[in-house]
Chains A and B, each alone.
Chain A
Amino acid sequence: MYALETKGLTKIYGSKKVVNEIDLKVGQGSVFGFLGKNGAGKSTFINMLAGLIHPSSGSFTILGKQHHQNQKIGVLPDYSTFYDDLTALQHLKYFSKLLNVKLTKSELLDLLQRVELEDAANVKAKKFSFGMKKKLGIAQALLNKPDILFLDEPTSGVDANAVLTIHRLIQDISKEGTTIFLTSHNLDEVEKLCDDIAIMNQGVITVRGSMQQLRDKHQNKLIVSLKHTQVNATQMSSLRPQLEDLASAIEWGENLTTLTVDGEWLIPEINRSFLHANVDVFRIVVDEPSLEEIFIKIGENQRSAS
């Protein structure tokens, strides 16, 4: 049984398909990262799963069940706002009563301690910083010890210290066996925390797989940058066909040419091509693309395809 399974999940606002027939399976106990730029449809998707938005079509199951009732689900919605008149502790008391979860004051304080908010237990939420609100949002999502936890942008707009706390917390919760489904536009965060990811763009999933699969598929290429003397027209006519045979992408510059190649064995051949065209090479820099560059590249490919 999957922790989460969607079939053709779609949300249409007016004439725009914000989420377009998403089929997704998320295994139990995994940390699943849902990546995408702002407006990609991530929050709409997670809000449908959290029961906050009605799908236009399609269906989903959480831990094999179609309805949320009586299920141990925790949700941190994006743009979490709290009641100004309640303290952190009062919020947790109120929400635990709504969930029908009986927790003592000391258990609630323990939960606040877990999100490093124990000093603010009796501070009203109107005085909370954005980071404190995120932490309280996570604390309330953990009240019922959820089997699956939905976190929508858990660290966006949060300072570096709070980010570390939240990351540590997510890793701890994951170790306890909770399935975590998080959305983010922060690639480093996803790379650090997630086992599996999906990249969403304009309402559709463009990439899906484990972090390793993604690296194997997209990160095996190298970016080779060569600093060289200026290339004249005659040299270019000799150089261009040779390099086009060797590289999958070339960015031509006056003194700097960047090539995307399949492996390092092609670097001597590239160098020879420049020498053969009587272009002097001063420096060769080889880079492995980061996940962020892969993400940007996929986005650019899709834009050019559409």
Chain B
Amino acid sequence: MVTIGLREFQNLFKSIRSVIIILFIFSVTLGMAQLISKYKDVLGAVGGLDGDVYMGGLLFLMIAAGPLFVASLSHSAINQEIHSRTIRFLATKVSREKIVLGKFLGTALYWFVCLFVATLLILPFTKGFYFNQFMEALIFILYFVGLAIFLSTLIPKPGMTMFLGILLAILFPIIGLWSLGSDNFFIDLVSYVTPYYYYSLGDHFYTYVVLIFPILFVLASLLLIRKKDF
């Protein structure tokens, strides 16, 4: 499990797409922090300015574009191995459960490192480590990592998960944000399975409730992979 996780972690850093995403996250986070810092007097006079405003930039970026980043990088974490038949080498050496858990942990570790480094980059502005905001960003991303692993286990074709992942990455923020100001029963119902609803409640406790979803996604993936023929 650890070996598979470490390979997934290394692979994510090696891809061009990953490098572009990392540069984008770092530059946008740093740019927003510099911008906020430049106008801190004005912003401070309007509504007060704490270090977490800088972290808010990173969180906003993750909420807006995080699902897309995860979908583009990890949409084929499992099904690419099945499609290329390399899973036959893995499945004859380790249990199927370890393959799924390794993939999830490797991807989660990649995002932890990315977000952690982004947080360190804005440390000169924030003057402190904002743990709660960091965890909010991380848990939000973990939701989509879990979803990507689940879809990748459920759907055999990498092309299809790429399409579906990007579609969901666009639809989820729309539905999530729509539900915040909507009375529509169905939109409300759907919002309960997106992280946006819990993040809108304004209590850090509910952020941690969102952790249940990636756990459920991984559990479902474990059940699915047991049934698969390679």
Contact = CB atoms under 8 A, between A and B. Distances in A.
Q: Do A and B bind each other?
A: yes
Interface of A: 47, 50-54, 68-69, 73, 75, 77, 79-83, 85, 94-95, 97-99, 140
B230 A47 contact: yes
B94 interface: yes
Contacts of A80: 85, 88-89
A50 B4 CA distance: 20
Contacts of B91: 51-52
B94 A81 contact: no
B14 A51 contact: no
Contact of B3 (A54, A75, A97): A97
A285 to B, nearest CB: 48
Interface string B212-230: 0000000000000001011
Contacts of B89: 77, 80, 82, 95, 140
B159 to A, nearest CB: 18
16 contacts: A51-B91, A52-B88, A52-B91, A52-B229, A52-B230, A54-B227, A75-B92, A77-B92, A81-B84, A82-B89, A95-B89, A97-B3, A98-B3, A98-B93, A98-B94, A99-B93
A79 B230 contact: no
Contact of A50 (B14, B84, B92): B92
Interface of B: 3-4, 7, 11, 14, 84-86, 88-95, 227, 229-230
Contacts of A83: 86
A94 B94 CA distance: 12
B95 A69 contact: yes
Contacts, number: 49
Contact of A77 (B7, B14, B85, B94): B85
B4 A98 contact: yes
A140 B11 CA distance: 21
Given A53-B230, A54-B229, A85-B14, A73 B92 contact: yes
Contacts of B84: 81
A82 B86 CA distance: 6
B92 A94 contact: no
Q: Which of A50, A82, A94 has the most CB of B within 10 A?
A: A94
A53 B229 contact: yes
Nearest to A52: B230
A195 to B, nearest CB: 24
A82 B85 CA distance: 8
B7 A79 contact: no
Given A77-B88, A77-B89, 11 more contacts: A47-B230, A52-B91, A52-B92, A52-B230, A54-B227, A75-B92, A80-B85, A85-B14, A94-B3, A98-B4, A98-B90
A80 B86 CA distance: 7
Contacts of A97: 3
Contacts of B95: 69
Contacts of A75: 88, 92
Contacts of A140: 89
Given A54-B227, A69-B95, A81 B86 contact: yes
A51 B91 CA distance: 8
Nearest to B6: A97
B36 to A, nearest CB: 40
B227 to A, nearest CB: 7
Nearest to A74: B92
Nearest to A48: B229
A53 B7 CA distance: 25
B12 to A, nearest CB: 13
Nearest to B228: A54
B65 to A, nearest CB: 27
Contacts of A69: 95
